[in-house]
Amino acid sequence: MTIIYAVIMFCILIFVHELGHFIVAKACGVKVNEFALGMGPAIFKKQKGETLYALRAIPIGGYCAMEGEDEDSEDERAFNKKNAWQKAAIVVAGAAMNVLLCLVIMIGISIYSGTPNTTIGDLTPGAPAEAAGLLAGDEIVEIDDTQISEWTDITDAITGAEDNVSVTVNRDGQLLTYEMETIEQDGRLIIGIMPGRDRNIVQGVADGFKATCEMTTIMIDSFRMLFSGEVGVEELSGPVGIVYVVNDTAKMGLIYVFYFTALISMNLAIVNMFPLPALDGGRLIFIIIRKITGQAITDEIEGKVHFIGIVLLLVLMLYVTWNDIIRFIVPIFQ
């Protein structure tokens, strides 16, 4: 199942990314020679109009091969014949689709999981809340003189408490107050309650947007630490590391696999917009430079720079893959 999950995840992420390039390229009138999912020999292909659609054997990678993308072409519908704004839109579209995929998944997870409310959904057996007499269905209205309006108020009040807390609940219209101790778990204070959840589409969409923004902020900060040296290059992971993590997340449930897919989709979007040769961000930089400098840089020169970038990226991928093997595969046989 791990292999199946990983292959499906890779295919979805790559397909969505290349589909973004494909849709905008077609909308801008660019001739697309081939739209392929996977790399290596084709196991299925079909010519439809000017475009060859192919499914290739190795489910890591894919491409949207446009006329005049990395070489000079005299075709009026070639990528190199389009204006700067059209080129920029095509280049950015792949990353934009990955961001959109991340957002859709996070909205789906938020709607499915629901929003925690102030009603007790369940209690941990033997924990202080159950021992004190709290029941599932009780609505918490006050903790230690702090008025409760949302679930985070509850966690903040308990975290800020000392050895004991006073919890006031609304049970069938009657206010009841219970005194109980707090216990420490994973470095924080708890009383052993879990929230009820409201499932609302509008709130789920809002929570999905919020979660996506938070995920983006965390990932950008992680890349900042990588480039500043706070995190070493050895911490990077490639396909092997991703499969290893998929294995762990699959054990926790399908919802975690979806969350990890959203995380990798956002990661792919951000990495692809780095201003490096061969990446979409590098292509965007060239579009801007060539718009300013005119014909100072030819399509042939840009193509050679991107080729060098591809070679360097392959070297980095080999290093990361070897590092993943040392970290994740070798210990299994020791």
Contact at 8 Å (CB) between 211 and 110?
A: yes
Tell me the backbone φ, ψ of residue 70, rounded to 5 degrees. Answer: -125, 15
Neighbours of 56 (CB within 10 A): 19
Chain centroid offset of residue 262 CA: 3
Q: Which two tokens stand for residue 79?
A: 């990528």
Q: Which two tokens stand for residue 162?
A: 């000392």
Residue with tokens 């992420």: 13
Three-state secondary structure call for residue 258? helix
Three-state secondary structure call for residue 329? helix
Residues annotated catalytic, as ranges: 18
- Kindly tell me the sign of the dihedral angle through the C-alpha atoms of 26, 271, 213, 11: positive
Q: Which two tokens stand for residue 149?
A: 């309006």
If we measure between CA atoms, which residue out of 56, 57, 75 comes closest to residue 66? 75
